[in-house]
Amino acid sequence: MTHGDNDPFELEAMIALRQDLHAHPELGFEEVRTSQIVADLLAEAGIEVHRGLGKTGVVGTLRVGGGTRSIALRADMDALAMPELGEVAYKSGTPNTMHACGHDGHTVMLLAAARHLARTRQFSGTVHFIFQPAEEGRGGAKAMLEDGFLERFPIDAVYGLHNMPGLATNEMAVVAGPQLASSDSWEVTFHGVGTHGAKPHLGRDAMTAAAHFLTAIHTVVARVVDPLQPAVVSACAISGGDFRALNVIPDDVRIGGTARAYTATVRDQLEAEIGKLAQGIAGTFGLRASYSFMRRIPPVVNDAGSTAAALAAARAATGKPVVTDFPPSTAGDDFAEFGGRVPGCYVWLGNGPAVDGALHHNSRYDFNDAAIATGARYWTTLVEHELR
C-alpha cells in the first residue's frame, strides 16, 4: 500500500478493501477472513497484534513515547444474516449474508487510522485498536471481556463510532449521556390447570391470566417508571393452546418480549416490575407463573469527560460544527459492555443521504466510502488529543 502527505489514509487501497469486505461478509464469530486481513494489515504497519479474544476478535496495540495513559478504539466486523438486494459492483457473494449495518466501513476506518498512527506517531501513550466480532446480537463484546480484555489491556477510556445515514459524510454527532438503550429479553409462563373448554371451573385458566398480564405490563412504563425517563416494554411473542383443539383450555401460556431503558435504575425497575405483575396476576387467578429476564446489552451512556474529548476531535476532524443534539436511539450496541466498565463515548459519523430510503439493516444498505477519510481522521485526531 502506498501513502503520502496528500494521502495520509491510503484512501484508494482502503476503499478497495472496504468493497472487498462488503463482497465477503461474515457473520458474528465467523469473521475468519476479515480478522485475518485485519491482523495482517496491522502487523504490516508494525502494530502488535493479539488474536483469539472472543474467538475471531483482534486487538492491535501501539505504544509511543513514555505516556502512561491508555485508550481503546473499537470497531465491529460482523455482517447480518440477510440477503443483499441492491446492485452494487461489490455485492455480497455469500448467500443470505450482508454488511447491512456498515461494519465493513467501521473496520476499514479503524485500520486506516491505526496504520496512519503507526507511521506518524504524534502521541505519547498506548492505544488499543479493538476489532470486535459479533456485534449483531451474538455477544462479541462480552466474549472479548470474558477472554480477559480489560485485564490484558487496561484502559482509561474507550471510544466507539457508528455510521449514520441522514448526516453528511463530513458531519458527526457527539452527545453526552444516553445514546442507545439497554436491550433485554423477558419471558413469562403461566402454569395453570388445563381443562375442557366447556368446564373452565374445573381448571385454572392460564389464558385469562395471560390476557390480564398483557394489558397490565403497559402500566410499568405508565405508572412505575419516572415519566421523564424513557422506557419500552413490549410483548412480542405468545404461545398456548392449539387451533385444532378449540375446546381445550391449555395448561400453559408462554409470553415473551423486550425491555429497553437508558439507566440502570429503570432497567432494574423493568426487570422487577414485569416479574411482580406476572406473579401477582398468577396469584389472583390461583395459578403459578415462572419468569425470567435475560440481560442482553446494557445502555450506551456517554461519559462527560470522554464526550468532551470526542467532541474536540470531531470538530477538528470535520472542520465544521458537530451535531450535539442528536436524539438517542432505542436500538442497542454491545459497545456498552466496554463503555459500562470504563468511561467512554460512542459517536455518529454521517453516511450521506439514505439512498432509496435504505437505513441500517435494510437489504439495500451500503456504507458510503466518502466517509472513510472523515472517520479515519476522527480516530487519529482523537488519539493525538487524548494521548498528548
**Cβ at position 234, least distance to Zn ion in Å:** 19
Q: Residue 331 CB, nearest distance to Zn ion (Å)?
A: 8
Query: Are residues 161 and 382 in contact, defined by beta-carbon separation less than 8 angstroms?
Result: no
Which span sits near Zn ion by CB under 5 A: 99-107, 179-187, 207-215, 268-276? 99-107
Binding segment (CB under 5 A) for Zn ion, from list 22-30, 96-104, 204-212, 237-245: 96-104
When asked if residue 282 is in the footprint of Zn ion (CB under 5 A), the reply is no
User: Residue 243: what are its φ and ψ, rounded to 5°?
Assistant: -70, -10
Contact 117, 376 (CB under 8 A): no
Q: Which stretch binds Zn ion (CB under 5 A): 31-39, 94-102, 205-213, 378-386?
A: 94-102
Confirm or reject binding of residue 278 to Zn ion (CB under 5 A).
no
- Rounded to an integer, what is the distance from CA 292 to the centroid of its chain? 23
Q: Please say which residue, 101 or 287, places its beta carbon nearer to Zn ion.
A: 101
Q: Which residue is nearest to Zn ion (CB)?
A: 101
What distance in Å separates the CA atoms of residue 212 and residue 110, rounded to the nearest whole number? 50
- 287 close to 204: Cβ distance less than 8 angstroms: yes
The least CB distance from residue 81 to Zn ion, in Å, is 12
Q: Which one, 320 or 361, has the nearer CB to Zn ion?
A: 361
Which of residues 332 and 343 has its CB atom nearest to Zn ion in the complex? 332
Stretch that binds Zn ion, among 24-32, 39-47, 81-89, 101-109 (CB under 5 A): 101-109
Q: Which is nearer to Zn ion, 101 or 261 (CB)?
A: 101
Interacting stretch for Zn ion, rule CB under 5 A, among 15-23, 95-103, 111-119, 350-358? 95-103
CB count in 10 Å sphere of residue 215:
9
> Does the protein bind Zn ion through residue 101 (CB under 5 A)?
yes
State in angstroms the smallest separation of the CB of 325 from Zn ion: 22
CA angle 315, 318, 320 (to 5 degrees): 65
CB of 294 to Zn ion, least distance (A): 19
Q: How far is the C-alpha of 349 from the C-alpha of 352, rounded, in Å? A: 9
Work out the number of other CB atoms within 10 angstroms of the CB of residue 67: 14
Q: At what angle do helices 372-386 and 11-23 cross, to 10 degrees?
A: 110
Q: What element of type H or E holds 271?
A: helix 264-284
Question: Closer CB to Zn ion, residue 81 or residue 207?
Answer: 81
CB of 136 to Zn ion, least distance (A): 5
Taking the complex as a whole, the smallest distance from the CB of residue 333 to Zn ion amounts, in Å, to 7
Task: Give whichever of 183 and 208 is closer to Zn ion, judged by the CB atom.
Answer: 183
Residue 258 beta carbon to Zn ion: minimum distance, rounded to whole angstroms: 16
Report the half-sphere exposure of 338 (CA within 13 A, side-chain side).
33
Q: How far apart are CA 76 and CA 139, in angstroms?
A: 11
Q: Which stretch binds Zn ion (CB under 5 A): 4-12, 97-105, 263-271, 274-282?
A: 97-105
What does 285-345 look like in DSSP terms, one character per residue? TT-EEEEEEEEEE--EEE-HHHHHHHHHHHHHHHSSPPB--PPPBSS--THHHHHTTS-EE
Q: Which is nearer to Zn ion, 70 or 182 (CB)?
A: 182
Joined grid coordinates for residue 168: 453528511
Q: How far is the CB of 361 from Zn ion (least distance, A)?
A: 6
Does 376 interact with Zn ion (rule: CB under 5 A)?
no
Residues forming the site for Zn ion (CB under 5 A) = 101
